[in-house]
A and B are shown apart, each in its own frame.
Chain A
């Protein structure tokens, strides 16, 4: 009976906390600030080295990541003439990655993106950017025409297609972008908490026979922590590539 009570899952207000580290500056703020600082530091350090020498250390990281964004994201989804978007996408990628990865770094143990405010602001930034890029490249009328009236659709079907396109382009896109990142990080966080609570409950169990069983959820916890590294990378990648696809769609309309 005691065991059942011990396995009671903590309240959500216990799982997700962002206490004030310094009065007025909470944990999420510190993580977000550090994410920016680390990104700036990596690229500032990489910038100072002599460009003619083969890259080592932090410069290698910077060059590999720029290559990854250029070849893996910009070239695949937007084309060669959009390479100017690399800095924006690169900073987006690193910001999302570093705010995600704090979920598995001890002492932080809280992905900043498991708080809706972070993903929401990022999604709104992407939303503003792709609409602005569309208006800049095609003009307001041209952008609305290409996004609301996709070519190759029979005239009568526009009655159905246009409202759907309107909702999906201007409302569902930012919403799903934010919710995808938020829910993935929250789910990962809760999964880690579940197995940590289970391990703790078994180690402190009253029945002595149950204590060795704690090794099972503990191994699961270790495995899930490694899995979370993958999820952090993947979500940062997906967030960036979707931003690239949306921006690419508004600067190169379908014909």
Chain B
């Protein structure tokens, strides 16, 4: 409730801009992290399964796993860049 009353008091346009930028930055990163979080969890889980089933192929699975992580993670990182741009730019 207090936060809402503070928000209501902030009528200065510069303050409003800062508040909405901070809130938008928070949502941008939070939302961007959901998909890659699920993706990386699924990817690593499946890789561990594969490595446990076939330990002799562990090296190959690990290389491919890191590649997959790199591609999945890129989305979260773009979200992070958006966060930085909204918050500080």
Contact = CB atoms under 8 A, between A and B. Distances in A.
Given A179-B74, A180-B73, A180-B77, A186 B84 contact: yes
Given A237-B66, A238-B66, A242-B67, A179 B84 contact: no
Interface string A158-190: 000000000000000000100110111011000
A76 B88 contact: no
Contacts of A11: 88
A86 interface: no
Contacts of B7: none
Interface in B60-76: 60, 63, 66-67, 69-71, 73-74
Contacts of B80: 183, 186-187
Interface in A1-30: 11-12
Contacts, number: 45
Chain A residues touching B, majority SS? helix
Interface string A70-90: 001100110000000000000
A241 B77 contact: no
Contacts of A238: 66-67, 69-70
Q: Which of A11, A12, A180 has the most CB of B within 10 A?
A: A180
Interface string B46-89: 00000000000001100100110111011001101100100110
B37 to A, nearest CB: 15
Contact of B77 (A12, A72, A179, A237): A179
A234 B87 CA distance: 27
A41 B69 CA distance: 33
Contacts of A76: 59-60, 63
A245 interface: yes
Interface of A: 11-12, 72-73, 76-77, 176, 179-180, 182-184, 186-187, 234, 237-238, 241-242, 245
14 contacts: A12-B88, A72-B63, A76-B59, A77-B63, A176-B78, A179-B81, A180-B70, A180-B73, A180-B77, A182-B81, A183-B77, A238-B69, A241-B70, A242-B70
